[in-house]
A and B are shown apart, each in its own frame.
Chain A
Amino acid sequence: MTAIFLIVKGEQEVIITSATQEINLNTQAVITSVQYSLLNEGSQTVNHFIACSDIKHAQQRAFFEGVQGDAEADDPPEMKVVPGTPAYPAGVSCDKFTLTEPLKSGKRTTVETYAVYTKLTHPRPAEIEQGETQRVVYEGHHYLLSPYFIKSQTTKVKLPSSQVDAYTKEKPTQLSGNTLTYGPYGDHKPFSLLAQQSRMRVHYETNAPFLEALTLTRDIEVSHWGNVYVEERYKLQHTGARHKGTWSRLDYMTKAVMGVGNVIPEFKAVLPAGAHSIYYRDAIGNVSTSRTSPSLASVEVNLRPRYPLLGGWKVDFIFGWSLPLHQAVRKTKGGGYELAVQFSPSITGVVVQDMDIQVALPEGATHLRPSAPHPFTNTTSKRFSYLDLFGRPLLNLHAKNLVAVADDELTVSYRLSSFNLLLEPGLLIGAFAIAFGIAIAFSRSELSLGGSSKGSRRLSGSGRESEAGNVQSAEEVVGSLTKQIAERDKVLGSLDNVQMGTSKDDVRRIVEPLLKDILRKLRQLGPALEATTGFRKAAYQQVLDREASLHKAALQRFDGRSYTGASYTHSKVTEAQLDLLDTKVNDLRAEMTMNLNIIKQGVSGGRTSAISQ
């Protein structure tokens, strides 16, 4: 195989004096960390470092990070990956890092790369029965693939247990306890043939949970009034050795140790410290088998699905909680805000194939800028939620092939004005205002079922041109008024027949509606009377006021209490009150006649008829 590669000037002069690779196979994800000790033998300063791996591995890589310097120090500087991988032999994929401290000629430095791969281990046998242990195969390389000359290298493979069925041997190889050591190996040229062709294969036992989320949707809704809702919808599958044969719950429950064989009985989720109102439900309803243990640093939740997961089995559920606003959103300099929540799912040890994150920000948020440690694609749309006028901005992020790593944070920065915050109660106020407005309009309008009387017809135009019309309608007015007074006479006539001992209630019941009705009709005449010539509004108003007070006085006589807010009494009418009633009735009659005369005079008596008291 011819190795065709591009040599960048300066690279050949850097050599790796020693390299230690550690492949951690304890969990379903393979974690590889390599420590390189570099020496710049050339004369020029080197700014980059190139790390390579098998291309099949690189395709399954979920997380990759390079760090220069002492790995034990706090927060060593992270090296940036230069985009665009250089071209190297077939089957090899490389990444170029920019060194945070350029390597001067003759100097040494250490670089450490850390990579997490998913789906690199495969269960063999692919199907097992209940109670059998699960065995998986890992395939890799004995030697490091590197464009640099390697003087010495060692590979340590950490296994979950000391039970290893088979492993390839490449002298010197040693298996002691849980660790399989390959090396130390001597000089290797850049991309030596041996490095490319010498394959490692380890077949070992593991009971680590192989849990994969086929689809995961995280829904985050932010409310500036104090809360951030987070809801996750999972579709989890056990992707270890598939289950074959029967499933016996009795056998499962009576086994000495839960989790022998590849059974996943529960999931653990780690939530931020202030999480509350946690719910766990599925399509059937609430799942009660869950436990929460809050602590100062976090809230741990143990979720147990309705059935344990065996190889190949799936489970769907919804898991959500709320966060206090101050834990999730910060104010940035310049008046904006920044939402910071965890990017990866809250359930630990899950490998995610496809993740959708939907972030709903308060209505009116603008300048949305998401950022996350993992590559993602995003689109923006709208969601109509509580008290929304024109919709909340909804950010849809999509990421693939994800594992949970420490300190991964999704930040979304945005701008929001306080006015938008007030729009929400404003909507409610507006709704109430409209309701009150309609109520006021109804109570003020003159709606009646029987049609209005002739007297309430509005008269239009100036006096001169419609004088004839005025006189005629004025006559109509007078006529209707006379009719009304006759009606009232009837009412008062019925009062004449009130016997002693009649309940006040009854009297009131007869008198009041009729009086009110007449009063109302009299008022309706107002506009017509106003328009007639010679009748002054003030005079009319006087008549009306007198009518109103008479009306009030008549009713007051019955219970001796004030009219407004009084409750009717059921006592009987006394003789004294009857006498009073008679007097009042006669008074009313007299008044009515007087009023009628006044109106007649006013209507026909000319413009300047003054009405004296």
Chain B
Amino acid sequence: MAELHSPISPSLYPFLTIMLTTGGLATTALLYVSDVVQSKHQRPLVQDVSLAAVSSVLLGFGVFFLLLWCGVYV
């Protein structure tokens, strides 16, 4: 019987946390900046929603790996 290992090696948790959280915050920033800069009639809803989707995925995973890195194995 083989040993069970985590799907992602725990040594990768710090790297993934930083990358994903930074990326998530960057796309969130893009979302909010586009809200301020462009008027909402010029901005298609698809752009907003797709940016929000990407941000939520990146931030969701980023916070998840942050929890794992801190030792809160969820």
A residues near B (Cβ < 8 Å) are: 223-227, 229, 277, 322, 325-327, 329-333, 337-338, 385-387, 418, 421, 424-426, 428-433, 435-437, 439-440, 443-444, 523, 564-565
Contacts and interface: CB of A to CB of B under 8 A. Distances in A.
Nearest to A422: B7
Interface in B1-16: 1-8, 10
B40 A565 contact: no
17 contacts: A224-B6, A226-B73, A326-B4, A330-B3, A386-B74, A387-B74, A418-B7, A424-B64, A425-B64, A429-B61, A432-B55, A436-B28, A436-B52, A436-B56, A437-B52, A443-B35, A523-B41
A331 B1 contact: yes
Most chain-B Cβ atoms within 10 A of its Cβ — which of A331, A385, A418? A331
Given A225-B7, A443-B35, A443-B40, A428 B1 contact: no
A611 B53 CA distance: 42
A402 to B, nearest CB: 27
Interface residues of B, number: 34
B63 interface: yes
A592 B35 CA distance: 28
B60 A330 contact: no
A157 to B, nearest CB: 44
Contacts of A523: 41
A385 B4 CA distance: 22
Contacts of B48: 440, 444
Nearest to B31: A436
A385 B10 CA distance: 21
A161 B72 CA distance: 50
Interface in B58-74: 59-61, 63-64, 67-68, 71-74
A226 B10 contact: yes
Most chain-A Cβ atoms within 10 A of its Cβ — which of B4, B5, B63? B4
B11 to A, nearest CB: 10
B6 A325 contact: yes
B contacts with A: majority SS? helix
A331 B4 CA distance: 6
Contacts of A333: 1
Nearest to B43: A444
A429 B52 contact: no
Contacts of A439: 52
B60 A431 contact: yes
B7 A444 contact: no
A325 B5 contact: yes
B1 A325 contact: no
A156 to B, nearest CB: 42
B4 A428 contact: no
A222 B53 CA distance: 31
Most chain-B Cβ atoms within 10 A of its Cβ — which of A327, A432, A565? A432
A136 to B, nearest CB: 45
Contacts of B67: 386
Contact of A326 (B5, B37, B40, B52): B5
Interface string B5-37: 111101000000000000000001001000101
B16 to A, nearest CB: 11
Nearest to A326: B3
A385 B67 CA distance: 14
B57 A429 contact: yes
Contacts of A325: 4-6
Contacts of B3: 326-327, 329-331
A433 B68 contact: no
B1 A225 contact: no
B7 A433 contact: no
A437 B53 CA distance: 9
Contacts of A424: 64, 74
Contacts of A387: 64, 74
Contacts of B5: 226, 325-326
B55 A436 contact: yes
A226 B6 contact: yes
Nearest to B67: A386
